[in-house]
Homo-oligomer: A and B are copies of this chain.
Amino acid sequence: MRRSLLASGVVVRPRSTASATPLDRWLAARLQRSIAPAGVGVELWDGTSTHPGGARTGDLLIRDRGALLAVLLNPDLQYGELYSAERIDVRGDFATVVEAISRVSIDAPISWRERLALWAARPNALVRARRNIRHHYDLGNEFYRLWLDPQLVYTCAYYPTPSARLEEAQVAKLDLVCRKLRLMPGETVIEAGCGWGALALHMARMYGVRVKAFNISTEQITFAKERARREGLYDRVTFIEDDYRNVSGRFDVFVSVGMLEHVGRRNFSSLAAILRRVIDRPAGRGLLHFIGRDTARPLNAWTRRRIFPGAYAPTLAEVTTEIIEPARLSVLDVENLRLHYARTLRHWRERFTPAEPEVRARFGEAFCRAWRLYLTASEAAFAIGSLQLFQVLFAPSSAGTVRWTRAEVYSELAGLL
């Protein structure tokens, strides 16, 4: 395990052998009440169990007293921690139980812990940003190759039909972004957060544009450069291992797919300043593709600690108020693709499951369980609407590059597929 996702903090304890006390049973009843609407029962380490009443979705198996207490005190963080540590298990279909439990709290008002997290969010300065990004994206290309599509596109796909395969849907997404942006041969594009380079290479190959693509993940940029060389696109796509904030010059197009979540709200004003500068041309335009929320609240505490440190999924109101408007840009088009992200995550999970023995062998049981939960819970969040996926197309207010109608985006796309 390279830079360990779970290098510290997760303690895997042996299961308790003590019998549940009356206090334990009282705590179990409280836990049961909180998840009863999900149809999920509770079973303690000695076999003591409670029933949700009504149809049964599955059971939470609590392995020790500490786990019982912890999950009651701070469920937002502890479900993830304790599941990873094998101190909580699930009986029944894992995805069904995770979605059912997620749905119970969807309308919960924002908690004091969440308010604190919003308030305490630190700006992702250049150094911190690098550390946060490497935590997740430098796990090794081999790891991501186990369950992503062959091009390693690690963002929401676009399924032209619900039955499309992941590979097709990722290509369709790359192309949808290009069509929305109406790329023309010879134009210049800046891409902020380019992942393994699939979009940059697609834009250059299929639309004849010149791309400068930024990323601060070493593993990804090395892969992308090698691919550009191999595919003969090295002269048209420049991959730069640097923070997008260091971009200079002007471009026809700005595009960023799946990076805004890592920018952090405190940095929105600097992103606005960059956007305003880099596409300040009569034909300038741009697209932001990002995980968002309908109301402002931090990501789940466990996700922030273990999966995406420094990440924040903004509301459309925050993005328009803090980025688009200060950058003097005009919103041309917004599309919410949350159901496509739920589908994408299901496809990732369906590939992750058979790869689990290999993941476990390389990264350990706790890591494997953490990723299983992360993929499953994320799918649930998009399916039930606690997370959204927005694509926002914009241009300087008086830009002349507005498409006459959207219809051509879809007729062209229909022709491609």
Contact = CB atoms under 8 A, between A and B. Distances in A.
A172 to B, nearest CB: 10
Contact of A384 (B324, B336, B339, B398): B398
Interface in A332-354: 332-336, 338-339
Contacts of A338: 330, 402
A335 B336 CA distance: 12
A106 interface: yes
Interface stretch (A17-25, A40-48, A409-417): A409-417
A54 interface: no
A320 interface: yes
A28 to B, nearest CB: 29
A404 B163 CA distance: 11
Given A159-B404, A410-B411, A388 B330 contact: yes
A231 B341 CA distance: 45
A222 interface: no
A405 interface: yes
Contacts of A320: 315-317, 320
A336 B325 contact: no
A330 B336 contact: yes
Contacts of A384: 398
Interface in A295-327: 295, 315-317, 320-321, 324-325
Contacts of A336: 330-333, 402
Q: Specify how many copies of this chain sit in the oligomer.
A: 2
A329 interface: yes
A33 to B, nearest CB: 22
Given A334-B334, A397-B386, A398-B385, A294 B407 contact: no
Nearest to A337: B405
A328 interface: yes
Contact of A414 (B328, B331, B411): B411
A399 interface: yes
Interface string A352-388: 0000000000000000000000000000000011101
Given A316-B331, A397-B294, A398-B384, A407 B325 contact: no
A162 interface: yes
Contacts of A414: 407, 411
A334 B334 CA distance: 5
Interface string A270-309: 0000000000000000000000001100000000000000
Interface of A: 106, 158-162, 294-295, 315-317, 320-321, 324-325, 328-336, 338-339, 384-386, 388, 390, 397-399, 402, 404-407, 410-411, 413-414
Given A294-B329, A331-B336, A332-B336, 6 more contacts: A335-B406, A336-B402, A384-B398, A385-B399, A407-B410, A410-B411
16 contacts: A106-B397, A159-B404, A162-B404, A295-B325, A315-B320, A316-B331, A330-B338, A331-B390, A332-B336, A335-B406, A338-B402, A385-B398, A385-B399, A386-B397, A405-B410, A407-B413
